[in-house]
A = this chain, B = another copy of it.
Amino acid sequence: MEVGFLGLGIMGKAMAVNLLRNGFKVTVWNRTLSKCEELVEHGASVGETPAAVVKKCKYTIAMLSDPPAAISVVFGKDSVLEQLCEGKGYIDMSTVDADTSSKISKVAQATAVSTAITEVGGRFLEAPVSGSKKPAEDGQLIILAAGDKALYEEMLPAFSVLGKKDFFLGEVGNGAKMKLIVNMIMGSTMNAFSEGLALAGRTGLSPETLIEMLVKEEEGLGAVGNPMIMMKGPTMLKSNYSPAFPLKHQQKDMRLALALGEENGLAMPVAAAANEAFIRAKSLGLGDQDFSAVYEAVKAEGLKQ
């Protein structure tokens, strides 16, 4: 199977290498073209522009750093749209919001205002992933695909190489929404855990023991243990908040999830309380720390005389 691949950052490079190792023919492009060289060593071809890649390949995967990059690769000069014709598929695996995804999608699906775009006839799939560098290298990502189902099915050979699990979630935007919901659960759960940890500390019980009880067992008291507690609990007790997922991003996702609830008529008072805790943590200067730093705001030990 032959695929184009746009974007060779940490994630993109790992994914492209993975595809090459598993027998895919890959034509890569990166804004800084020199980054393509390492991929050439693994057997990749190089496209000079996004348009060149799309011209060559039936399927083009994008893994870009942020919404502006995702947008500019599609709409700019020498960009995807210049060559995306009838039948070609564009798969954006970047982490973008539902709006960005829809904007790209409507264009790619030729439903948008511009007549130029209507003629394109391309197919679109959003497919944000969960997982960082290591899972990307190991093909252990989780893929949240949404959009053109036939295209999703055609991409399964690639997804099975890139991820350990993939989901097809329906219409474009659903991938972003699902990720938001999972992050909201994560943020509230982190608060639930932080309050418990702080309460243990305040009542003279050992927070270390609490963590051990939560994560060492998978029955009874261990019912609410999860990998997040196992990973972050011990570092939280050391006030080590080296950021895996920055608190300010977690807070933003809480806000966006609450807005999604508002739009859909769902009150979520626990998430709302958790969101305010993250806001308090941000005001304590913890926005760039890991989201588990909300524990500092919860216990607020600095407040005690």
Residues of A within 8 A of B (CB): 129-132, 135, 140-142, 144, 164-165, 167, 169-170, 174, 177-179, 181-182, 184-186, 188-189, 191-193, 195-196, 198-200, 202-206, 209-210, 212-214, 216-228, 231, 251, 255, 257, 259-262, 264-277, 279-280, 282-285, 298-300, 302-305
Contacts and interface: CB of A to CB of B under 8 A. Distances in A.
Contact of A192 (B142, B164, B192, B283): B192
Contacts of A284: 303
Contacts of A224: 182, 185-186, 189, 226-228
A210 B178 contact: yes
25 contacts: A130-B222, A131-B220, A135-B220, A140-B219, A142-B219, A165-B217, A174-B204, A178-B210, A182-B214, A184-B199, A185-B192, A185-B193, A188-B189, A189-B224, A192-B270, A195-B268, A199-B264, A202-B261, A202-B266, A226-B226, A261-B279, A266-B283, A267-B279, A270-B273, A284-B303
B223 A186 contact: yes
A297 to B, nearest CB: 8
A279 B300 contact: no
B200 A178 contact: yes
Contact of A195 (B188, B251, B259): B188
A227 to B, nearest CB: 5
A257 B210 CA distance: 15
A208 B225 CA distance: 21
A273 B269 contact: yes
B272 A209 contact: no
